[in-house]
Structure 1
Amino acid sequence: MNIAIILSAGSGSRFGSDVPKQFINLAGKNIIEYTIAAFEQNDKIDEICIVTDTIYHEKLLEISKNNNFIKVKKVIQGGVERKDSSYNAIKEYENQKDINLIFHDAVRPFVSQRIINDTIEALKKYNAIDVAIPTADTIIQIDEISKTIENIPQRSKLQRGQTPQAFKLEIIKKAHELAIEDINEPMFTDDCGLVKQYLPNEKIFVVNGEEKNIKITYKEDLLFAEKLIQFNSISLSKENSFSTLKNKVIVVFGGSSGIGKEIVKIANAHKAKAISFSRINGIDITSKKDVKKALKKVFERYGKIDSVINCAATLTKKELVDMRFEDISKEININFFGAINIAKTSFKYLKKSKGSLILFTSSSYTRGRSSYSLYSSTKAAIVNLTQSLASEWQKNSINVNVICPARTATPMREKNFGKEDNKTLLSSKIVAENTLQTLIKDFSGLVIDVKQGI
């Protein structure tokens, strides 16, 4: 019997958060939800036990219920240190026979099915298993007092340890008990360290890990994790990847040209009901009345709205001092207040359908560009709006994401930059495909970068 032990008793002090990092929001879910799901989905895992502080037991039981994690059978008390949490799990199963314990960090949400399978398979030959990857950096050993280098080990023999770590129950139980008896026990950061120290004749087999099997320790790791979710989730290589669009009702503002027009075309080709609104058919997104009228019309006809996409935007390529105040107000109203109108008015419909809102930003949001300061700044505001709404609407099961395409061949771009070599630009079709892929995925609060080759 293979038991996954998810170690979730960490405080998250290095992350600098008020709550343990395993409960930090990552694309609309707690980090630990991705971790549990990885073991829940594995056919070789029979049961899951989560080790955490008592105050989070109810939260984890609720998470398990909401996600239908049927393999989660136990949520038990964590210990002061990692080894104490591991030992608590060992004690839970010590009276059972033929048990394999697979220990995994709650904040390693990207463990692959291949790693889990290889780890369990290795237990057929070995009693202790580690997971590791080669180190790309030179590792130095320093004198802690003088802060000078004592040794530079040969890099080819060094690897970086990951999890899971797996053991036959009797082996890891014996290692822990010997450590408890040792009054001079050295500090260990993992369970393989205990086996190596107290059962030196026990071979520990090393399964190949993966670079993406990261441990989210610092806030910078969270940014990387968001991109991993994006690139793991959005794949345009699968045939019939848009089959789930069938009968979905999608409202596209700014759907008369460019990216919006392609979205409508592709969605309808896959039997969705994609309805376009723009100034061409009398809808001005800066008018709350117009937006309300458009959405009401769609809802009355189809009885639901599954997704709302806002592609409408304007760009004036001028320095700020050369712009009239009327033009400044117009650009802010269309690019920012228009998105707010759409978001606020869409909420009641998307709440009913547990749907999706998709907004658009620009690569210029990361750094203001000369000659289009208003466009850059409003697009930065859209990113912040998306992330805020994703957090606010999480309780309503509404996904909110923002598409960030690289330079794209659209009428708006041609108007401002003239004719360009299309080989240097994204096609509107590629951006539209990525947008619809985002729409059908279950994540929220992400900036979806669309670049050449993605």
Structure 2
Amino acid sequence: MLLRVKRLGIILAGGSGQRFGDQIPKQFIRLAGESVLRRSVVALASGGAFDHIVVAANPDWLDETNEALKGLLGPALSVVPGGSSRNESTRAGLDALKAADGDIVLIHDAVRPLLSRDVVERVVAPLVEGRADAVDTTIPTPDTLVIVDGDRITDIPNRSLYRRGQTPQGFVVGTLRTAYANTPIGSQATDDCTLVLRHVPGARLLHVDGAEENIKITTPIDLVLADRLIQLQSIPPSKATTPAGNSSHWSGRRVVIVGGTSGIGAAIATELAALGARIAAVGRSAADDVTSASGAEAALATAAASLGGVDDLFVTAGVLHMGPLANQDAADIVETLAVNLAASVYLARAAHSHLAKSAGSLTLFTSSSFTKGRPNYAVYSATKAAIVNLMQALADEWSSVNIRVNAVAPERANTPMRQTAFPNEDHTVLLSAEEVAAATLRLAASGLTGQVLDVRR
């Protein structure tokens, strides 16, 4: 039987960053344009319909916490001062929620930004189904465990009996309150399931599978790993959706599409025209060469003058020259670097002033080749990996002026470029340009930044 209760959340953000060794707490470090804290909050909130989430913040960093969550704060998300320990921060968050004993609450670390919706749903399910009073998130340990006393090994236990704990942890609120009420003054634990296990006799504790990528950013190397995971992470089209009630998002918007006269760019232009956008499509026959800095500046200036400004820029232009690098013609290499990379760099720079005025968006195009270099695609793959790095850097650099920057990575698509490269391929099995265009526009209207949208059937 499903319990009809409120679903609540607590984000523990009281860390000082001492173990991280940085000048600011680790939850404020930026990953691909957004703070670790903001990513962690959004990750938890996206896992279900939460009635209220409280962020228990370091009291010395309340202003910074509110700034990091600007645009998210409201009736469903608030910030309260945390305590001097993890357990005291949990108490502060629980008090602020004013929850009934029968409600459920999920507690998540502010420095686990890669939490997935699937993990959140796995934690919630046993609680709303009435099968558990507390739920821990765990993953297996691949390494042999060794128990030591000083430098002496005392035991090597069966590792199949041990799991590594993650967050979120979930609780029936009354169970968690009982755990804290029964905990002796001065007693501390590294997590809340430990308190339930120790101080609530008979409580039903279950564990559910977490995820290896749900790492906790505690040291600088964790940040490197998280950054790499985000780079390789793509979001499904279902997440890149236009906000509810925003069907008129594109009406009247001033949109520049470079590569907008053929393939995916032309499909984007067609769909935008039907939605009432004002469009400037720049193709190969344009007067200005966008692979040069001066040409990109001129093309954006011309488009902005004709549209009265720029709200969105899509850079879809690309070329594909295949073959072993040692045998590739130098002119083909120059063209690949110019069209696939230099044009995006110069256009982005030229667009910055326009997009800053409109708090607009920049959407670049990479491909499924960005994750790994492949034989006969060396230069092409290198440019596509560079586009992802460019996007992530700009998402971070431009967040302060509210410019959103994303990239689209379509799988094989039926475009003129593809047809030329693979004339004997069955084009009916490929993504259509219209499918890619529709997904691209959902991403651009979604409010997301720093994301790679994986478009596939």
Q: Which moved more, 1:63-72 or 1:309-318?
A: 63-72
- TM-score of the two chains, using structure 1 as the length reference: 0.77
Quickly say closer, same or farther: Cα 1:259–1:148, change in 2 above 3 A.
farther
**What letter matches 2:109 in structure 1?**
D
How much has 1:402 moved relative to structure 2?
Answer: 1.8
Q: Matches of 1:209 and 1:368 in 2, distance apart? A: 33
SS state of the match for residue 244, structure 1?
Answer: coil
Alignment RMSD: 4.3
Residue in 2 that maps onto 1:174: 181
The alpha-carbon deviation at position 222 of structure 1 amounts to 5.3
Contact 1:115 1:209 in 2 (8 A): yes
Distance 2:252 2:301 in 1: 18
Give the structure 1 partner of residue 68 of structure 2: 63
Greater CA drift, 285-294 or 382-391: 285-294
Aligned pairs for 1:18-417 within 5 A: 19-36=24-41, 44-45=51-52, 48=54, 50-70=55-75, 74-79=79-84, 81-87=85-91, 102=105, 103-108=107-112, 110=115, 129-132=133-136, 143-144=147-148, 146=153, 148-151=155-158, 162-168=168-174, 171-176=178-183, 178=184, 180=186, 188-201=189-202, 203-204=203-204, 214=214, 216-217=216-217, 218-219=222-223, 220-221=225-226, 223-224=228-229, 230-231=235-236, 234=239, 243-417=248-422
Per-residue deviation, 1:310: 1.0
Deviation at 1:252, TM superposition (A): 0.7
Unaligned ranges ≥5, structure 2: 1-5
* Aligned-pair CA distance for 1:254: 1.0
Is the contact between residue 240 and residue 446 of structure 2 (CA under 8 Å) also seen in structure 1? no
3-state DSSP of counterpart to 1:150 = coil
3-state SS of paired residue (1:230): coil
After TM superposition, give the deviation of residue 216 of structure 1 in Å.
3.9
Distance (whole Å) between structure 1 residues aligned to residue 7 and residue 235 of structure 2 = 31
Residue 63 of structure 1: CA displacement?
3.4
How has the CA–CA distance of structure 1 residues 85 and 236 changed in structure 2, closer, same or farther, with 3 Å as cutoff? Answer: closer
Offset at residue 208 of structure 1 (A)? 6.9
TM-score by structure 2 length?
A: 0.77
Residue 443 of structure 1: CA displacement?
Answer: 2.0
Residue 447 of structure 2 aligns to which amino acid in structure 1?
D
Question: Deviation of residue 309 (structure 1)?
Answer: 0.9
> For residues 212 and 275 of structure 1, what CA distance do their matches in structure 2 show?
44
The SS at the match of 1:442 is coil
CA distance in 1, matches of 2:303, 2:446: 23
Tell which deviates more after alignment, 384-393 or 296-305: 296-305
Q: What is the number of equivalent residue pairs in this alignment?
A: 436
How far 1:190 moved relative to its partner?
1.6
Report if aligned partners of 2:29, 2:36 keep a CA contact under 8 Å in 1: yes
| Alignment partners' CA distance in 2, 1:133 and 1:119 | 12
Structure with larger Rg:
1
Contact 1:5–1:101 under 8 Å retained in 2? no
Residue 3 of structure 2 is matched in structure 1 by: none
Q: Distance in 2 between matches of 1:327 and 1:259?
A: 22
Shift of 1:409: 2.4
**Identical-pair percentage:** 28
CA distance in 1, matches of 2:425, 2:454: 22
Q: Deviations over 1:216-271 (max 9, x none)?
A: 44444555567777227535799998652222222111112111111112222222
| SS at structure 2 position matched to 1:200 | coil
Change (3 A) 1:158 1:371: closer
SS at structure 2 position matched to 1:315: coil
Secondary structure at the counterpart of residue 55 of structure 1: helix
Higher deviation after alignment, 399-408 or 7-16: 7-16
Correspondence 1:445 to 2:450: yes
Shift in alpha-carbon separation, 1:101–1:249, aligned structure 2, 3 A: same
Over 3 Å counting, the alpha-carbon distance change for 1:166 and 1:17 in structure 2 is farther
CA distance in 1: counterparts of 2:111 and 2:301, whole angstroms: 43
Contact 1:233 1:441 in 2 (8 A): no
